[in-house]
Amino acid sequence: LFNSSVYLRGGFTLHALRTTIGDDAFFQLLSTYVSEFGGGNALTRDFTSLAEDISGQNLDAFFQAWLFDEQLPPLPS
């Protein structure tokens, strides 16, 4: 309950995603996500699919490492 994944992993994941897909795609992703899902329900797959659509990248390995693997990956530089 009180380990770093609860408090840090979400923010680290978003930072790593921004570094991976670039500022333009990242901020377009956030804006589009709120437009499509704000005030409603969404699944993790909704976010990851939208990130792939907007960035034009296959992010399966990225999201596997950052969202589902037990060990936190190193932050990209």
Region for residue 9 given its phi and psi (left: phi exceeds 0; alpha: psi -120 to 50; beta: otherwise): alpha
pLDDT of 2: 65
pLDDT of 76: 83
Residue ranges, the chain, pLDDT below 50: none
Q: Distance (Å, rounded) from C-alpha 2 to C-alpha 20? A: 28
End-to-end CA distance of the chain: 28
Question: Within 10 Å of residue 28's Cβ, how many Cβ atoms?
Answer: 15
Q: What is the DSSP letter of 23?
A: H
